[in-house]
């Protein structure tokens, strides 16, 4: 027996029984898929919560001091943006107003009312990087018009299409086009309309003067060469304490951190990943322990030939590595198919971009090797004398 023969022995032990091999790989792939899906859902939920913010133009944003998440918008007066324009570094300011609680869309199919998020923008500006908004800017200048998110949940709102007329909060509204933004855990659908139309549908957002109009996010575009971090500090010091000034990157990070660390979303999916890991450990342990039990005589023969306990354990550990690699490959393929299916059905941004397959692979290898090491303890009690008993 050559010194490097432990790898072929490991491979032969694992692949000798095809039916057992398929069952073992399927069990490991299940655990891998579970970890991928839980981690994928977590990243999809977090990405969906900042989807709108990532489409905003402007290096600096102004929000209400008490705003902790965009899902529960707090508004500040438009005059804060007017004050920000006095800085020579400011090239342009743009208001964005979001209503998540007051908008109710009437489904044309069954006449049901469902809450929908409505985003109001100033059409003269170019503050949202959304193709549908740029295409239908002219039509949105007309009264009682909006564009609808084609990724909105069809069960709640019906299928949005240009030309349809329904009701938003008891008032007639015509859809003039569609765009693609996506839903999240707090929003099943989105509409975008002009700021003038927004104030018609939600009078509570209109102040006694234009300077008092409600603004949820104030976008500040800086002149080239301006440091956003340094300017943010100066603007925060100059404005009253009822608003908070953030860079766009800080705003995105705050929103993600809220849903990942404060809200239960992140914790729930972290638990899901841990559960997938535990399930995988149990499956791998059962597979390898069963294989060792079936081959005790063979391992006793190897020990009689001079194999040390460490060398026998290496055989089992290599089986764990092979099982991990095959299970990961199968789980990855299944996960990619499920990601596509979930994206089509729910509109959530499910993909491998933020899932970090290397981390899942590392967890899978550790899961199988650790289970193998635990199962291999039985080899320590293998007695070659049993062969002649």
Res. 55 pLDDT band, cuts 50 70 90: very high
pLDDT of the residue at 83: 96
Lowest average pLDDT, out of 25-34, 144-153, 260-269, 283-292, goes to 260-269
- 295, pLDDT greater than 70: yes
Residues above pLDDT 70, as percent of the chain: 95
- 108, pLDDT greater than 60: yes
Measure the CA–CA gap between 220 and 234, rounded to whole angstroms. Answer: 13
pLDDT of the residue at 186: 84
Which residues contact residue 352 at a Cβ distance below 8 angstroms, ignoring those fewer than 6 apart?
Answer: 40, 335, 336, 339
- 384, pLDDT greater than 90: no
Lowest average pLDDT, out of 25-34, 68-77, 266-275, goes to 266-275
3-state secondary structure of 104: strand
* Average pLDDT of the segment spanning 202-219: 92
pTM: 0.78
Measure the CA–CA gap between 215 and 207, rounded to whole angstroms. Answer: 10
- Please tell me which residue, 82 or 300, carries the higher pLDDT value: 82
pLDDT of the residue at 2: 45
Q: What is the DSSP annotation of 10-31? A: HHHHHHSSHHHHHHHHHHHHHH
Q: Write down the domain spans for the chain.
A: 3-49+263-388, 55-258
pLDDT of the residue at 145: 97
- 1, pLDDT greater than 80: no
The enclosing H or E element of 172 equals strand 171-179
- 4, pLDDT greater than 60: no
Structure tokens at 57: 């133009």
Pairing of strands 76-77, 214-215: antiparallel
Cα four-point dihedral sign 237, 98, 150, 122: negative
The residues with which 93 forms a beta bridge, in sequence order, are: 220
């Amino acid at each position: 027996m050559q010194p490097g023969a432990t790898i072929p022995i490991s491979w032969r032990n694992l692949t000798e029984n095809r039916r057992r091999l398929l069952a073992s790989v399927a069990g490991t792939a299940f655990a891998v898929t579970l970890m991928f899906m839980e981690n994928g859902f977590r990243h999809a939920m977090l990405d969906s919560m900042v989807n709108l913010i990532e489409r905003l133009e402007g290096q600096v944003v102004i929000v209400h001091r008490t705003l902790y998440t965009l899902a529960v918008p707090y508004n500040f007066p438009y005059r804060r943006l007017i004050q920000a324009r006095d800085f020579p570094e400011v090239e342009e300011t743009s208001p964005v107003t979001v209503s998540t609680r007051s908008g109710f869309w009437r489904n044309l199919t069954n006449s049901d009312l469902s809450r929908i998020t409505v985003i109001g923008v100033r059409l003269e500006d170019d503050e949202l990087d959304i193709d549908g908004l740029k295409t239908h800017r002219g039509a949105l200048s007309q009264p009682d018009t909006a564009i609808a998110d084609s990724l909105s949940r069809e069960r709640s709102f019906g299928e949005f299409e240009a030309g349809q007329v329904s009701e938003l909060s008891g008032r007639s509204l015509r859809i003039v086009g569609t765009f693609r933004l996506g839903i999240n855990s707090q929003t099943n659908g989105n509409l975008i309309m002009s700021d003038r139309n927004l104030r018609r549908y939600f009078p509570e957002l209109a102040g006694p003067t234009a300077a008092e109009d409600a603004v949820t996010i104030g976008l500040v575009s800086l002149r080239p060469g301006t440091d956003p971090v340094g300017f943010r500090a100066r603007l925060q010091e100059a404005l009253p304490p009822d608003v908070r000034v953030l860079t766009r990157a800080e705003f995105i990070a705050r929103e993600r951190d809220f849903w990942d660390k404060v809200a239960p979303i992140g914790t729930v999916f972290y638990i899901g990943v841990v559960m997938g890991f535990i399930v995988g450990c149990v499956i791998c342990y059962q597979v390898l322990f069963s294989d060792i039990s079936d081959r005790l005589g063979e391992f006793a023969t190897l020990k009689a030939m001079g194999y040390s306990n460490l060398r026998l354990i290496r055989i089992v550990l290599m089986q764990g590595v092979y099982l991990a690699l095959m299970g990961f490959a199968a789980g990855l393929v299944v996960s990619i198919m499920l990601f596509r299916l979930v994206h089509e059905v729910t509109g959530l941004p499910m993909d491998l971009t933020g899932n970090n397959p290397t981390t899942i692979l590392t967890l899978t290898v550790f899961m199988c090797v650790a289970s193998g090491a635990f199962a291999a303890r039985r080899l320590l009690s293998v007695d070659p004398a049993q062969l002649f008993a």
